Amino acid sequence: MHIAVAGNIGSGKSTLTKLLAKHYGWEPRFEAVEHNPYLEDYYRDIHRWSFNMEVYFLKERFRDLITIAQADHTIIQDRTIYEGVYVFMENNRDMGNLSERDYETYMELFEQMMTVVKVPDLMIYLRASVPHLVSNIQKRGRDYEQSIQLEYLQNLNRRYDDFIKNKYPGRVITIEKDNLDFLNIPKDLSGIIDKIDATLFGLF
């Protein structure tokens, strides 16, 4: 199976991916952040580096999808190719960070890729408010994330909600994250696991 964890920057995707991988014995797969050659430049000058970074992420996520499709075991993925397109790319376009020419080229490439892959068996969407996201971003202390604007996070949140409700064709569990601490409170993690079991295996 292919399980995906979706959510805005600072929503807890990587943490939940690790915890669920450990619980179920799934293989975790994380997006390339630390070794992304464009990310720091992007946050310094979003307009200049948007197309470069989005194409890099598209390439990496498509490669992951091919690997996942060929696997004989369950893989849980931190962020998907679909979010990259319908949340981040669309947001950059509407902010004026991409030309129509670049956008059309990107979308044609994405549509070609989608002809050879399928959606995850389950997507887990971590929905969080902007104050919650900001708190988590500050706690983890990545230098290149500290300059992220509140408006940018707000725009991404709106796009995530629209993506989940109106654009994503697969099966989704939505988790309201603000009042959960699944890293430190076992019952919070157990509640998520119960929802996954009920959805995937018909338990409870």
In DSSP terms, 174 is beta-bridged to: 125
Give the distance, in angstroms, between the CA of residue 32 and the centroid of all CA atoms in the same chain. Answer: 12
Is there a binding annotation on residue 45? no
**Closest by CA position to 17, among listed 137, 148, 122, 90:** 122
Q: Are strands 75-78 and 27-29 parallel, antiparallel or unpaired?
A: parallel
Is there a binding annotation on residue 51? no
Is there a binding annotation on residue 163? no
Is there a binding annotation on residue 7? yes
Q: What gap in Å lies between CA 76 and CA 1, rounded to an integer?
A: 8
**Closest by CA position to 28, among listed 39, 17, 37, 36:** 17
For the question of residue 94 being annotated catalytic, the response is no
Q: In this structure, what token pair is assigned to residue 80?
A: 């998907």
Is there a binding annotation on residue 202? no
Q: What is the DSSP letter of 18?
A: H
Is there a binding annotation on residue 13? yes
Give the other-Cβ count within 10 Å of 50's Cβ. 25
Is there a binding annotation on residue 170? no
Is there a binding annotation on residue 165? no
Is there a binding annotation on residue 12? yes
Is there a binding annotation on residue 36? no
Q: What gap in Å lies between CA 106 and CA 108, rounded to an integer?
A: 6
Q: From the candidates 78, 102, 121, 178, give the one annotated as an active-site residue.
A: 78
Residues recorded for the chain: 204
Q: Which residues are catalytic?
A: 78
Positions at the binding site for ATP: 7-15, 180-182
